[in-house]
Amino acid sequence: MIGGGGREHALRHVLARTATVIDDSDRADLVVIGPDAEVVDGLADRLRARGLRVFAPGADGGRLEGSKAWMKDVLRDAGVPTARHAVFTDVAPAVAFLKTMEPPYVVKTDGLAAGKGVLVTDSLAAAADDVAAKLSGAAFGAAGRTVVIEEGLAGPELSVLAVCNGRDFALLPSARDHKRLGEGDVGPNTGGMGAYSPVPEIDGIDVADAVGRTLAELVRRGIDYRGVLYAGFILTGDGPRILEYNVRFGDPEAQAVLPRLTSDLAELLAAAATGQPLPEVTVGDDAAVTVALAAAGYPRDAVAGDIITGLADAEAMDGVLVFRAAATADAGGGLLTGGGRELHVTALAPTLPEARRRAYHAIDRIHFAGMQFRRDIGADAA
């Protein structure tokens, strides 16, 4: 298992039901790569070149997340509906395009930005300033020197994780992420402040078509995609539209989705990694709610080094799992904030409202200075 965040902690937890999880890739029967940066950088290619079996796409498939502009080209060629958009490297034409649009304005870095490279605003001036900051490199360095500007779409969002073996895919349970820092979806974008699974209103919505068309287009381009294809949808009045693709398990969606599985995750990922037929995915009846606990100052100026207490009390609660993310161990074995989303508290229960109650009761037992979290995760479904 490569990676040490909350997503990877959840993967380790669920894989450990049927497999021994280690950190030494040379001794592993299967290598699972968690973080996006390593995938986009081509780590899977280098490991495969050493004869290892790897669950993650190569650098060619990694472009789906590494370049939003390239991803939009794939969607166009695959015939998958998405927002109207244009790509820019210069400020003047970008601002001119913004002036042709109606608010809200959406400005995205082309490259990786840890989930924080998207501005959604009703202010044309703020959007223009953001374009200038990104294209200059001041905001996100090289990742922002190309921007994608797209129309703002209205509707609830939906995350779907598809495990792909290069030709076929298996869908995992639906989830919904909460990106903004503040309750009521206000404040800056983050890596994700919480998620829940399942999403009740997915019934009757065909999300598999977009995934299937995308995978077929990757095959047409000669890309052997063996890993997770994370599809971020928005459910508009005109039907589902793809907002983004990621090339790894969602974070924090993985923390809500993976614990619900009753089938063998290690078997599924191994089959995908070797291009074999995918086994059936089975899911328990319990719903799950995951809430991120972030350090003071997150997402821009997160504070590190604050003492975290109450973790053992929270983990002892029925149906509660606590996944460690940025939190780090001190010399005495305690936990300190690491300067990000520190912990993810996941609760499972027969219904979403009960899972929410369990999650927040567990959070009430955890303390650190300046702890930030949202109390409305899953409230739209409960």
Q: Would you say 95 and 113 are in contact if contact means Cβ atoms under 8 Å apart?
A: no
Residue type, position 68, single letter: K
| In 138-221, alpha helices (H) | 208-220
- Per-residue tokens: 60: 């060619």
Ramachandran assignment for 172, one of left (phi > 0), alpha (psi -120 to 50 degrees), beta (any other):
beta
What are φ and ψ of residue 100, in 5° steps? -85, -5
Query: What's the pLDDT tens digit per position in 248-284?
Result: 999 999 999 999 999 999 999 999 999 999 999 999 9
* pLDDT value of residue 203: 65
Split at pLDDT 50, 70, 90, the class of 43 is very high
Nearest CA to 189 among 269, 257, 137, 244? 244
Domain boundaries, the chain: 6-58, 84-151, 287-363
Domain 84-151 in this protein, CATH class:
alpha beta
Q: What is the pLDDT of residues 137-163, one digit of tens each?
A: 888 888 889 999 999 998 999 999 999
Q: What was the pLDDT predicted at 3?
A: 95
Amino acid identity, position 153: L
In this prediction the pTM is: 0.92
What single letter denotes the amino acid at residue 123?
S
Mean pLDDT check: name the lowest of 331-340, 352-361, 368-377: 331-340
84-151 shares its CATH topology with 287-363: no
CATH topology of domain 287-363: Glycinamide Ribonucleotide Synthetase; Chain A, domain 4 (3.90.600)
Residues with Cβ within 8 Å of residue 331, at least 6 apart in sequence = none
pLDDT-based confidence at 207, cuts 50/70/90? confident
What pLDDT shows up at residue 113? Answer: 80
Confidence of residue 135 (pLDDT cuts 50, 70, 90): very high
Buried b (16+ CB within 10 A) or exposed e, 118-148: bbbbeeeeebbbbbebbbeeebbeebbbbbb
What is the per-residue pLDDT across 6-16, written as a single tens digit (0 to 9) for each? Answer: 999 999 999 99
Express each pLDDT in 20-35 by its tens digit.
999 988 899 999 999 9
pLDDT score at 204? 66
Q: What are phi and psi of 187, to 5 degrees?
A: 90, -175
**How do residues 68-94 score in pLDDT, each as one tens digit?**
999 999 999 999 999 999 999 999 999
List, for residues 313-332, the tens digit of each pLDDT value. Answer: 999 999 999 999 999 998 78
Tell me which of 293 and 141 has the higher pLDDT.
Answer: 293
94-121, pLDDT tens digit by residue?
A: 999 999 999 999 999 998 887 678 888 9
